[in-house]
Amino acid sequence: MGLFSNILGFLKVKFTGGYFGYQAKSSPFEGDAWDNDIVRGIIDAIATHAAKGQVKHVITDHEGRITKTVYDSKIVRLLNGKPNEVMSGFELKYRFFAQLEAQTTAVMYIKYNEATADAEAIYPVDYRNFEFRAVVGGGWAIVFTDFEGKQQILPLECCIIARKFYNRRQASGDGNAPIYKVLNMSKASDEGFIDSLQISNKVRGILKQKKAILDPEDVKDGQRSFAERFREAAEQGGIVGVDSMEEYKPLEVTAYSANAAQMQGINNRFYSYYRTPEEIVQGKYTEQTGLAWYESKIEPLWELFAEAVSNAYFTNREVGHGNKIVVSGGVLMGTSYKTRVDIINQTKEIGVLSINEQRELLGYGPVEGGDIRQVSLNYINADKQDEYQTKKKEEKKDGDNSGEKKE
């Protein structure tokens, strides 16, 4: 934890003597994945796009439809603005999603104000490993070891926890063990490339000396002499001179050909594992690729994050009254400018988007009064169209009569 160790207020509790087993512990964490340049680039792309999502506190009815947005929500201000003393909302969300991808389990701690009983700060929990343990008197705690080797304890009900690859364990995701072999192949390929590159830069060729059997020292002297002539020729742009008893054969060692074919196959396995195309990582994706990736990768992360925050922050009573967290925004940011304009033109008359939501699609900031949705008066409810038309006919008839001259 380091920086946050003196802030969080760790518990001092007694645990029950029960054994909670293997499943209540986190999966082993290896830093090799995060230290790989391809993997880090993939995780950075995922976390960057996911962190663009804006958190909202809403009230829903019994059918799950949003009836109200709570604009003065404390948890929303923390997650979208300044969650703690040293981080921005974007940085906290980025770190949460990066931790989720790198360790398959992400953890944040909500610190509550003792006077107001409301959240006053949110901190990331950096762990090497952790486990869930029952507390004497009731409740659960998360016991974790940080990267400084210190064991810390936090109340589980105050922690926001999200998991991926959540199958075999109760406490955490199952880890990234399936790509360890791919990481080893990538590392071996990189090392082979470096060795080949060094050889290609240093070994120029083979010198044959057509003399009688020489003493090894004489061979070395001849080699040094030729190397000196080769260096002088390279510096002066001249030709290397050899006598009739010497034969020089250049070597062509191409570092690129040593592993290029394999590297692309290895990298593709990383892209498949994290379900993120190479075009996304390099920022060269098309509109179709961007929208498909948002729908299949980013939106599920937003849903996971929203439920994790809701479960940690709201009481059962608040949940029963329809309080929940949702994450939205940025879905259409992968589309072209023309597509966004078309969407606005197609929806502006039926009030799907407010003025500020339309401005957001075009890259502009909100304006005062822009959260009101506007609709065209050219539309009426389908079940009232007969009444509307009949009324219009009557008005027209009355208007014609009023224009007649009286005798």
Percent of the chain past pLDDT 90, that is, above it, reads: 35
Q: Which residue has the higher pLDDT, 46 or 402?
A: 46
pLDDT recorded at residue 120: 93
**What is the band of 135 on the pLDDT scale with cuts at 50, 70, 90?**
confident
Which residues, other chains included, contact 210 with Cβ-Cβ below 8 Å and sequence gap of 6+? 244, 245, 246, 247
Q: Pull the structure tokens for residue 70.
A: 């709570």
Q: Is 319 exposed, middle or buried (0-12, 13-18, 19+ CB in 10 A)?
A: middle
How many Å separate Cα 182 from the centre of its chain?
21
Count how many Cα atoms sit within 13 Å of the Cα of residue 383 in the half-sphere of its side chain.
0
Helix (H), strand (E) at residue 120:
strand 119-124
Instruction: Identify the bridge partners of residue 15 per DSSP, sorted by sequence position.
Output: 135
**pLDDT at position 15:** 60
The mean pLDDT value for 96-102 works out to: 96
Residue 89 and residue 79 in contact, taking contact as beta carbons nearer than 8 Å: yes
CA–CA distance, 101 with 95 (Å, rounded to integer): 10
Q: What is the DSSP letter of 116?
A: T
H/E element, 70: strand 66-70
Q: What is the average per-residue pLDDT within 242-264?
A: 60
Q: What is the mean pLDDT of residues 242-258?
A: 55
User: Is there a contact between 314 and 322 (Cβ–Cβ < 8 Å)?
Assistant: no
Return mean pLDDT, the chain: 79
Going by pLDDT thresholds of 50, 70 and 90, the confidence category of residue 306 is very high
Using a pLDDT cut of 70, give the percent of the chain over it: 68
Distances from the Cα of 174 to the Cα of 25, 69, 179, 273, angstroms: 10, 36, 12, 14
Strand pairing partners for 209? 246
pLDDT given at position 303: 95
Q: Which of 43-57, 97-111, 324-338 has the lowest mean pLDDT?
A: 324-338
Task: For residues 4-30, give the mean pLDDT.
Answer: 61
What is d(CA 174, CA 74) in angstroms, rounded to the nearest whole number?
33
Q: Report the range out of 79-93, 124-138, 165-179 with the highest average pLDDT.
A: 79-93
For the segment 260-275, the average pLDDT, to the nearest whole number, is 87
Spans of all domains in the chain: 2-177+267-312, 183-261, 336-407
132 close to 142: Cβ distance less than 8 angstroms: yes
203 pLDDT tier (thresholds 50, 70, 90): very low
Q: pLDDT digits over 332-381, tens only?
A: 656 777 888 888 888 877 778 888 888 877 767 678 777 777 777 666 66
User: What pLDDT is attached to residue 222?
Assistant: 66
Contact present, 74 and 118 (Cβ < 8 Å): yes
- 360 or 323: whose pLDDT is higher? 323
Decide: 280 and 289 in contact? Cβ < 8 Å.
Answer: yes
Cβ-based neighbour number of residue 36 at 10 Å: 20
* Stretch among 283-287, 314-318, 396-400 having the lowest mean pLDDT: 396-400
29-84 pLDDT, tens per residue? Answer: 777 788 899 999 999 999 999 999 999 999 999 888 888 889 889 999 999 999 99
Report how far residue 112's alpha carbon sits from residue 123's, in angstroms, rounded to the nearest whole number.
Answer: 11
- When mean pLDDT is compared across 96-110, 254-268, 339-353, the lowest value belongs to 254-268
pLDDT in tens, 139-191: 888 989 888 888 888 989 999 999 999 998 888 999 999 998 888 888 776 66
Nearest to 106 by CA among 149, 165, 152, 148: 165
Asked if residue 258 has pLDDT above 50, the reply is no
Average pLDDT on 272-276 reads: 96
DSSP 405: P
Answer with the residue of higher pLDDT: 375 or 19: 375
- Nearest alpha-carbon partner for 331 in 305, 304, 300: 300
Output the pLDDT for position 252.
Answer: 58
Cα radius of gyration (the chain): 33
Confidence of residue 264 (pLDDT cuts 50, 70, 90): confident
pLDDT (mean) for 277-302: 92
Residues recorded for the chain: 407
At which residue do the structure tokens 């976390």 appear? 47
Helix or strand holding residue 142 (H, E): strand 140-145
